[in-house]
Amino acid sequence: MQRLSFEKIFYHKKHLYDVLSGEVEVFPIHLELGLTNFCNHNCPFCYAADSKFAADARRQKIEIPTGRLLEIIRRMRELGIRSTNLVGSGESTLHRDFVNIIEGIRRLDVEIGLFTNGSEIKGEIAQGIVENLTFIRFSFTGAGGEIHKKTQGADNYLQIISNIDHLVRLRGNRRLPTIGIQFILTEYSAGDLFKAVDMAKELGVDYFQIKPVFPQRGSKDVRIGLDLNKALQLAFEAKNLQDDRLEIHIKPEQMRLVVENITERPYVKCLGSLTTTVLEADLNLYLCSNQKCPAFCYGSLAQDEFTEVWLSDKRQRMLAELPVNSCPAACRMDPLNRIYDKILKGEMTVPTELPQPRAEDHINFL
């Protein structure tokens, strides 16, 4: 089973059946977590820059308070949380207490993944990542400084190459954390795609993911700049470069939905929001990573307990009234929602037997 597939939900059968039954209160098994609301890169297509939360961030830099965060995660762990992605609306490694936070989360027996621009992966941060994380994924597009600067909004290509190389060497022969690179396929980055795959092999990372540009409201740089057939052709050609050293991941269906901006969906409820929830640096709990704005905020955990907000009438009304066909084409939970929907309609069966997962399959990350 691919480490990036939502079919990993089959390893969580009790949670899956509780979600499908609709008869019991279900708590999430995965948390998307934002440690900060600020970043030292300026990607023109960044989804976070489009959110109300990020707009507020321009007025005030926020770091999530370490003590309160660990209290929240301790309670969520008691209720079934298994993993957290540090992704949020800012660059998590800029949090001044980053290492203490990841050490504290691991002590609570919660697995950690990190999405990062890579600029700060050095020194004690790199050591802390090797000792505590299940995976790290670098948002790193380009095989040279020019394209990197255009897609990442920062002139630090060589520094990040050095940081990735250092982290791979620091990990040594350990199986974890798995180290990946995420490449954004645009008209101007397409010429660097195959060279970037070669670079990833030379660096010794474990996998390379190719993604489209997700549409953002108000941005002039929102489209992939390639027609769907050309984008898929390039992605499949790059996939053919996979070998024993490097896995290459593409999601053709995601690419189709995003490039053609298809938002019509076969389901009417976002059951995926029962599996994953989102906590931002302002301690607000949100419905999902694509909808971080007041209209989709369950409530604040600054003082209220997680269960109080999760079981609130406000959250129940929000989910009942959510118009899923107005959600972005890039909806992160859409693939999981489609799995749930197919099972409910009898179009997919839950496997009775599953292969023994590898540590590097990340089965707790949904």
User: Domain residue spans in the chain?
Assistant: 6-361
pTM value is 0.93
Q: Is the pLDDT of residue 349 over 80?
A: yes
What is the mean predicted confidence (pLDDT) over 310-337?
A: 91
Give pLDDT tens digits for 126-170: 999 999 999 999 999 999 999 998 888 889 999 999 999 999 999
What pLDDT is recorded for position 60?
A: 82
Beta strands in the chain (DSSP E): 30-33, 83-86, 111-116, 135-139, 178-185, 207-212, 247-249, 276-279, 284-286, 297-300
What superfamily does domain 6-361 belong to in CATH? Aldolase class I (3.20.20.70)
Q: By three-state DSSP, how is residue 272 classified?
A: helix
Give pLDDT tens digits for 207-262: 999 988 765 544 444 445 678 888 899 999 999 999 999 999 998 887 887 777 77
Q: In the structure, how many helices (H) and strands (E) does the chain have?
A: 13, 10
Give pLDDT tens digits for 59-111: 588 999 999 999 999 999 999 999 999 997 899 999 999 999 999 999 999 99
